[in-house]
Amino acid sequence: QVLARVIMVHLAHLLMKNYHGGHVAIRMALGGCANRPFFRIVAAYNKRARDSKYLEQVGCYDPLPNSHNEKLVGLNIERIKHWIGCGAHVTKPVEKLLGLSGFFPLHPMTITNAERLRKRRALKAIAASEEETPGD
């Protein structure tokens, strides 16, 4: 009985709005200028356009490195926890970022891509060395 009431309270606003079967998503909204992207990590309804009205901004991500060769990511951990507690879905790029930050465990695709890259580089290295030896 208590559990039902808790769920009801949290999702009440979802039942009242116009999106049937929609949900809240934590995703990246693109902003910035030409050749200068800038992402805001945002909690928004799933059905909304990417850059339009969101429920709350929960962080930011700058994909271009700064003068100290760093990519800056700001995350409002307390609010992310709140939205996840309310049943928000998290998109893959945000999941990967959170995995890199240590808040989530490392995303499996990050590891998979790293391994693939490594294999490709190893193959290239072997191919390059094979080319050199007959060329001698």
Partner 1 sequence: MAALGVPRWRCLWRRAAAPLGLRRPGRALLGSRGYGQDAGSEADKEKSDVTKPCFTDELVQRLLSKMTGLDLQKIFRPIKQELKPPTYKLMTEKQLAEATRKAIKEAKELLKMPPVLSEREPIDDVLAEDRILEGTETVKYVFTDITYSTPHRERFIVVREPSGVLRKATWEERDRMIQVYFPREGRKLVPPPIFKDENLMTVFREDRHEDVLNLCIAQFEPDSANYIRVHHQTYEDIDKHAKYDLLRSTRHFGGMVWYLVNRKKTDGLLINMIQRNL
- 106 near partner 1, judged by CB under 8 A: yes
Residue of 117, 83, 86, 113 whose CA lies nearest to 99: 113
Q: Which of 10, 71, 119, 124 forms a contact with partner 1 (CB under 8 A)?
A: 71
- 101 near partner 1, judged by CB under 8 A: yes
- 82 near partner 1, judged by CB under 8 A: no
- For residue 104, what are the contacts with CB-CB under 8 A and spacing of at least 6? 95, 98
Which of 13-19's residues contact partners 24+ apart within 8 Å by CB, and which partners? 17/45, 19/45, 19/46, 19/47
Q: Which of 10, 30, 32, 113 forms a contact with partner 1 (CB under 8 A)?
A: 113
Judged by CB under 8 A, which stretch of 1-9, 13-21, 75-83, 125-133 contacts partner 1? 75-83
